[in-house]
Amino acid sequence: MAEQRWVPLESNPVVLTKYIHNLGSPDDWQFVDVYGLEDDLLMMVPRPVAALMLLYPCTKKVEDNPIGTVSPDLTDSVYFIKQSIRNACGTIAIVHALANNANSIKFDADKYFSKFIEETKNMSPSERAQFLEKDKNMGNIHEESAMEGQTRAPSSEESVNPHFVAFINKNGKLFEMDGRKDGPIDHGKTTPDTFLSDAAKVVQQFMKRDPDELNFNVMALVKTKD
Among this protein's residues, is 89 annotated catalytic? yes
The answer to whether 46 and 157 are in contact (CB under 8 A) is no
- As a whole number of angstroms, the distance between CA 170 and CA 181 comes to 18
Q: Which CATH superfamily is domain 13-223 in?
A: Peptidase C12, ubiquitin carboxyl-terminal hydrolase (3.40.532.10)
Q: Where are the domains of the chain?
A: 13-223
Residue of 89, 96, 142, 187 with catalytic role: 89
Percentage of residues in the chain with pLDDT exceeding 70?
93
pLDDT for 210: 84
Amino acid found at 200: A
pLDDT for 160: 45
pLDDT in tens, 142-151: 888 877 755 4
pLDDT in tens, 73-112: 888 889 999 999 999 999 999 999 999 999 999 999 999 9
Among this protein's residues, is 163 annotated catalytic? yes
Residue of 96, 142, 163, 187 with catalytic role: 163
Sheet holding 162-170, edge to edge: 29-33, 217-223, 49-57, 162-170, 173-177, 185-189, 69-70
Average pLDDT over residues 168-184: 96
Phi, then psi, of 72 in degrees rounded to 5:
-65, -20
13-17, 25-29, 65-69, 173-177: least confident range = 65-69
Mention every residue, 6+ apart, whose C-beta is less than 8 A from residue 39. 197
- As a whole number of angstroms, the distance between CA 20 and CA 31 comes to 9
The answer to whether 183 and 75 are in contact (CB under 8 A) is yes
Helix or strand or coil: residue 69?
Answer: strand
Q: How many angstroms separate the first and last alpha carbons of the chain?
A: 47
pLDDT for 142: 80
Reported pTM: 0.91
pLDDT value at 226 more than 80:
no
